[in-house]
């Protein structure tokens, strides 16, 4: 069984705590992305799973085996880093064959495995090229091949696509996912790029400042962020968050947004929770879930900027604490200085406790 359990995992460097009490269960064959901004502790977590760093406290289990003191070479993990690690004086074929050869595999078996991996990673025409003549893109592909050919039950990738160019990155996202489907490895993938995490991972562990913020499927973290950090971090642009106070109205509980006026009434379930808690809240809604409505039936805001990205239009509204963005799938004909009246789609509205930053849920 290639499950991975992190239990109360802590890593300190001197006085600095890089990882604070992480608990995470990764299922056999699961593709788990560790996602977060620079310095949040992703690589530290990965290095401990790999056996390159010892935890300060807590446990790492592979299946029911405690990994404490087990060196990297005995953990049965494949590892691919941001910077490809390959032998540049060797050909692609020799690089791919290196691991199985060291393990004493028979020549016919090595040839078969090299052939399969090269085909999967589109390296067949390059097999006899010397690695020092190849682009960074191809070298990273070879590095992935070198790890994959060992058929590790656990495959760890730390920002493997951050040095390859954008077009190649898109191709590799698909290929890595296919590779994982085919080999059914347990995959842990460190990235700060949410597009990579959202498109490839079965689940995403979102981290910030050494703290695990939320674990969920890409849609769960997008639709139901556990807190304000995840709400802002996931999505491009992130969720809009407007601070306000709950207020009763004849239509039900609304959020008084000060100069912006009141929101539409909150759905019944969440309204009860917000009513009980009383304090200030953030009224959250996704930029993609906004429609333009008649004056008087939504939030009226000045247009401060318009970005047209191909078919998509991102309209920036308001400024400072009341700045929000709205994304439209076509050109809605708004220009800087005009006033837009927007209404968030009710099912997408989320409310957060402003003091604690936590999502408030119905029930």
**Looking at beta carbons only, is 34 or 96 nearer to ligand ATP?**
34
Phi first, then psi: give them for residue 3, nearest 5 degrees: -75, 155
- Least gap, CB of 36 to ligand ATP (angstroms): 6
Q: Is 199 left (phi over 0), alpha (psi -120 to 50) or beta?
A: alpha
Q: Residue 44 interacts with ligand ATP (CB under 6 A)?
A: yes
9 binds ligand ATP (CB under 6 A): no
With a CB cutoff of 8 Å and minimum separation 6, the contacts of 172 are: 140, 141, 144, 160, 161, 164
Q: How far apart, in whole angstroms, are the C-alpha atoms of residue 56 and residue 8?
A: 10
286 is an interface residue for ligand ATP by CB under 6 A:
no
Strand order in the sheet with 339-344: 290-292, 339-344, 299-309, 312-317, 324-328
Query: In terms of CB distance, is 41 or 78 closer to ligand ATP?
Result: 41
Total residues binding ligand ATP (CB under 6 A) = 12
Contact flag: residue 39 with ligand ATP (CB under 6 A): yes
CA distance 173 to 200: 7
* Cα–Cα–Cα angle for 332, 336, 337, rounded to 5 degrees: 115
The first and second tokens of residue 234, run together, are 């996931």
Q: Could you tell me how far CA 295 lies from the centroid of its own chain?
A: 38
Q: Write each residue from 161 to 200 as x if it is in contact with ligand ATP (CB under 6 A), else as -, in one continuous string.
A: -------------------------------x--------
Is residue 43 a contact point for ligand ATP (CB under 6 A)? yes
> Measured from the CB of residue 213, what is the shortest distance to ligand ATP in angstroms?
13
Q: How many angstroms separate the CA atoms of 5 and 42, rounded? A: 16
Q: Which stretch binds ligand ATP (CB under 6 A): 10-18, 146-154, 236-244, 331-339?
A: 10-18
| Distance separating alpha carbons of residues 291 and 72, to the nearest angstrom | 53
Name which of 52 and 90 has its Cβ closer to ligand ATP.
52
Judged by CB under 6 A, the stretch of 41-49, 100-108, 116-124, 311-319 that binds ligand ATP is 41-49
Task: Answer yes or no: are the C-beta atoms of 229 and 241 closer than 8 Å.
Answer: no
How many CB atoms within 10 Å of residue 103?
9
Residue selected from 13, 59, 346, 361 as contacting ligand ATP according to rule CB under 6 A: 13
Nearer to ligand ATP, 38 or 330 (CB): 38
The distance of closest approach from Cβ of residue 43 to ligand ATP in the complex, given in angstroms and rounded to an integer, is 3
Q: Which is nearer to ligand ATP, 39 or 265 (CB)?
A: 39
Contact call for residue 305 and ligand ATP (CB under 6 A): no
User: For ligand ATP, which residue of 26, 32, 40, 118 counts as binding (CB under 6 A)?
Assistant: 40
User: Per CB under 6 A, which of residues 65..104 are in contact with ligand ATP?
Assistant: none
Say whether residue 160 binds ligand ATP (CB under 6 A): no
* 3-state secondary structure (DSSP) of residue 250: coil
Taking the complex as a whole, the smallest distance from the CB of residue 21 to ligand ATP amounts, in Å, to 15
Q: Could you tell me which of 279, 270, 243 has the C-alpha nearest to residue 258?
A: 243
Footprint of ligand ATP (CB under 6 A): 13, 16, 18, 36, 38-44, 192
């Amino acid at each position: 069984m290639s499950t991975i359990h992190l239990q109360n995992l802590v890593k300190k460097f001197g006085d600095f705590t890089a990882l604070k009490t992480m608990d995470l269960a990764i299922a056999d064959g699961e593709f788990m992305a560790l996602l977060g901004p620079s310095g949040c502790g992703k690589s530290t977590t990965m290095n401990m799973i790999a056996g390159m760093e010892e935890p300060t406290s807590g446990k790492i289990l592979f299946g029911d085996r405690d990994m404490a003191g087990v060196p990297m070479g005995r953990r049965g993990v494949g590892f691919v880093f941001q910077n490809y690690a390959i032998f540049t004086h060797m050909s692609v074929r020799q690089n791919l064959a290196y691991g199985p050869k060291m393990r004493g595999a028979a020549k016919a078996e090595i040839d078969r495995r090299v052939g399969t991996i090269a085909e999967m990673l589109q390296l067949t025409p390059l097999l006899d090229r010397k690695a020092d003549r190849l682009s960074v893109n191809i070298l990273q592909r070879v590095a992935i091949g070198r790890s994959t050919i060992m058929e590790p039950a656990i495959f760890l990738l730390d920002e493997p696509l951050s040095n390859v160019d954008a077009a190649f990155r898109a191709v590799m996202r698909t290929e890595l996912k296919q590779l994982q489907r085919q080999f059914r490895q347990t995959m842990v993938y460190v990235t700060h790029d949410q597009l990579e995490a959202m498109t490839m991972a079965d689940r995403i562990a979102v981290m910030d400042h050494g703290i695990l913020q939320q674990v969920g499927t890409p849609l769960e973290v997008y639709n139901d962020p556990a807190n304000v950090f995840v709400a802002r971090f996931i999505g491009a642009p992130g969720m809009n968050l407007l601070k306000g106070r709950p207020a009763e109205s004849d239509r039900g509980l609304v959020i008084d947004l000060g100069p912006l006026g009141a929101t539409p009434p909150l759905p019944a379930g969440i309204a009860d929770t917000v009513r009980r808690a009383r304090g200030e809240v953030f009224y959250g809604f996704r930029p993609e879930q906004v429609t333009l409505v008649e004056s008087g039936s939504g939030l009226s805001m000045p247009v401060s900027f318009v970005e047209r990205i191909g078919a998509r239009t991102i309209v920036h509204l308001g400024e400072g604490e009341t700045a929000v963005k709205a994304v439209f799938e076509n050109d809605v004909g708004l220009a800087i200085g005009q006033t837009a009246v927007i209404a968030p789609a009710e099912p997408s509205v989320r409310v957060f406790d402003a003091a604690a930053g936590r999502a408030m849920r119905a029930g």
